[in-house]
Chain A
Amino acid sequence: MISHYLQRNGISTTTISLIREHTEYTRQPRALWVPFPLGRPFGVADDPDFQRDVLHSALRLLETATEPTIEDYPHDAPDGGGDGVWSCSIQLPEPEVSDLEAALRSEVDLLTPWYEEARRRRGRTTVGISGAKPEEIDKVVSFIVAIAEGSGFKEIPASAQGPNWNHTFPMLVRFVVEDLRAFYQEAVTSQEGTKPPSQHDMHSWIFEKTALGQAIIQIGHQIAADDEQRLKMIRGLIIPEGFWKGGVSWGETPSGEERLSFIIRSRAYLAGEDA
């Protein structure tokens, strides 16, 4: 829709399309549909030639298209999407269910040198969206353990005071989980010379092999036990569909209500404006 609004205000646009059905619906002026996984509009990391070709192909539509156009990019991503060929070569201990905090801290300790190495080599980290600094990852762990063990969805756990948390409940839970997940992902993708994992590989590893996955699932159970129907959406934002065994991760839409209207009705609650 933004392309329509920009054009109505005098700016030419061209767009990458990931969901062709959405682009067919919105009929944007110029769109290059690309056959890449969601989250990867320019194809693949660390392949400048490929990224540049995708970008240039989308930009060329500014010269070649004379009416609303969806062009199909002819090449798959060089890794083919990458599913199912990756295994983590960092040996983590078998997660110890009886002591979630000890298990999580042990994993974080093992992953820290890999995380630091990746951060130095790339010159960046994406950890920090919750407001915790990357060096406050121990407080991120404390937060997740407390929520997983039932401290509720309204107040910062006493054990996690310190960081300048910059979201409100309940969405804060989603971003704290994302920060620890990013820490894990950046650490295990630091290994050079191995085929990088896809997001599905990553989810499978986290939920099947790590204490982090167990902690997230435990948060999912705390959400399931809560009476607030709108809170279920937070589970859908931390556990991808297919990895929550208790039904639809996102939660059921109340009967008689359209999914979209339920989301719109829940927006203020999720943003922390309607406790």
Chain B
Amino acid sequence: MPYKSVSRSIPFLRTQYVTGTVICYAIIGMTFVYSTLRYGLDLWHVVGGVLVAVLMGLQIFQSLRLVETLKRIEYALKMSSRGELHHRISSTKGLGELGQVAWALNDLLDRVESYFKEVDTCFRLVAKGNFDRHPLGAGLPGRMGDSLEAIDSSVMAMRDNVKLINRNELASSLHRLNTENLIRNLKQTQDDLIRIDEDAREFGTQARSNAEAAQKNLRDVETIRTAIDDITGTVQEVADVVGILSRDSDQIVGSLLTIKEIADQTGLLALNASIEAARAGETGKGFAVVADEVKALSRRTKVTAESVDQIMASFSQRVENVSQIAEHSNEVTQGMSAMVEDFESQFNSLAESSEKSVQQVDIASAVIYNSLVKLDHVIYKQNGYVALDGGCDEHQDKCAAIAVDHTQCRMGRWYYEGMGREQFGHMSAYRQLEQPHAAVHACVQEALRLSEQDWEGSQQLREQIVAQMKLAESASEEVMLRINQLTEERTLEGKDQPSLPRRVA
């Protein structure tokens, strides 16, 4: 280090001491030479001169030490001004007042250096997110100690602030995640409800048309009954006509017998007439009798013939009647057959529509139940979010709900013991549902476990919590997808199923 020994043309202490001492030595030397020449060599002069020279030597030695120590003090102060606080002044024994100055400076530097080390260390760790390194104020009096206390309370305020920010950060990440997914979940539930509503409407329409068809069927049955009554009456009439015809034909048989007798008698008469004719002579009397008999015969024949004629006319009328009745019967029968055919087809469509209604009710109930299962699942996640927000002390019931195993929650019981296994066990989506469902439980439980640690102070923990909830959400999305697939498959199965026998063959 270059040593400038002059300031504003006044020499520094070292130059002053050295120059002064040289001058003093010169004066003592010259005085010694002069007095020896003038008064001769004197023992007192020699001893006194040497003593003064030695004392002055000691003084210059101390003076130089003083100057050297001052230089060290200057250096330490200069370096401290530059920010290097680790310089100290040692080896000042025997320097009295200057030694005290040096020690006072050392004490000051000790305290200042300690102060800055405390502040530096504390803030360096604060920058890394560690708020536990409190600055230690002991041994630092006055302003320095107060300042460290103030810093300590500021750091505590920063810590609280950071905790608050971190808490908000976690809460807002979770809230964002939850909102996005909750809306999706609700949308799904809404879709389910819309579907159920549509199904219910269709089901209502079907039921109404079924009722109308049933009414119509009832009316048709009434008509058929009337037609049957009609046919019964017609058949009775035909039987009556046939009875009359039978009697008429008996009369005809009787008439024909009479005609036969007439023919026989006419034959006999003809024979008698021929005999009488042979006896000629006696002509007048006998022949007149025969002629009377033939006359009477012919009258009877005429009457009989008229009677047959009448019977035949009546007979023809009866036949006409029978033919008409038979025709009517035929018409009634044909009408009935059409009616029965119609009735049958109506009955079939009624049966078909009833069957469809039953299927729709089945599907609707599957959709409703699946929707309930999904809702339960959504509530499970919501419990997770609520518990993460306030902690288990505040939400013991939520934490208890989350602790439930994936085989013991509503979905789990539905899956392993209840309707789920019964109705959907054979489907591939059913098997694919198990793993994501278990993952949702595991992830939410893990997030809750992490939240019991000091996440307010650890970015990493907060990120892990959000990551676990994200995993839970994506697993949950798969759960929803699989349940939807189950519903779809169930619907398709319902449509493909062979329906009830339609033809009452």
Q: Do A and B come from one complex?
A: no
Tell me the B residues contacting A by CB distance below 8 Å.
none
Residues of A participating in the B interface, judged by any CB pair closer than 8 Å: none
